[in-house]
Amino acid sequence: FTSDNGAALISAPEQGGSNGPFLCGKQTTFEGGMREPALAWWPGHVTAGQVSHQLGSIMDLFTTSLALAGLTPPSDRAIDGLNLLPTLLQGRLMDRPIFYYRGDTLMAATLGQHKAHFWTWTNSWENFRQGIDFCPGQNVSGVTTHNLEDHTKLPLIFHLGRDPGERFPLSFASAEYQEALSRITSVVQQHQEALVPAQPQLNVCNWAVMNWAPPGCEKLGKCLTPPESIPKKCLWSH
């Protein structure tokens, strides 16, 4: 079991849930928006009662499932997922970078326990003044910003083991910062060099494709008539 994102704090406290010590919530690239637990259960294979700090992504489920079935990923396309069987079955830790995007902007990257923010932003002042708050009760100077802040020359780096709330960036002058920056810069460069430009697959919005009449709605008298199909480019203000 895992999930696709952190709690949507915009709906808090009535419906928004809690992200515990993590910063902000869904719609952001902070830990509260992107970090979720994962649970694995396979008696006789996965050791019970163990905790792993292995980074993973939902994209890894595909590659790991293929490995479980004794199959190899297709070679005619780039596969982003990593085979996590060595972690599940042997408890091994592997370097598995995670890249955080908003739109086509690489906002942050995590490698091991270190996370580098190249850009920071919550949402616009316009949305915030309308009551849309992705980080209620949380304010980290220079991090939970309503203007898009550029940190690409000197990324903000946090050690998520010591500081899971992303509140205390490492000193730029520290040896730990320099070592983490070098490792993360290398994997980001490899990632960006391997990207192939393509047309977005999820930028067309059309209310007519919503499931207005799910199976069984007739018996309940709850079927809705879909609106006219008017495809248009999506506008994501956040």
- What's the pLDDT tens digit per position in 100-128? 999 889 999 999 999 999 999 999 999 89
Domain that holds residue 210: 204-233
Q: Are residues 187 and 211 in the same domain?
A: no
Give the whole-angstrom CA distance, residue 115 versus residue 134.
20
188 shares its domain with 208: no
Q: Are residues 137 and 223 in the same domain?
A: no
Q: Span 80-108, mean pLDDT?
A: 94
Q: What are phi and psi of 127, to 5 degrees?
A: -65, -40
Cα separation, 12 vs 3, in Å, equals 19
140 with 226, same domain: the answer is no
Could you give the number of structural domains in the chain? 2
Query: Could you tell me if 102 and 147 lie in one domain?
Result: yes
Same-domain pairing of 103 and 163: yes
Are 132 and 211 found together in one domain? no
Q: HSE of 174 in the Cβ direction (CA atoms, 13 Å)?
A: 11
Query: Is the confidence at residue 91, as pLDDT, over 70?
Result: yes
pTM here is 0.86
Average pLDDT, the chain: 91
d(CA 151, CA 131): 27
**Which residues have CB under 8 Å from 109's CB, separation 6+?**
97, 98, 99, 100, 115, 116, 118, 184, 187, 188, 191
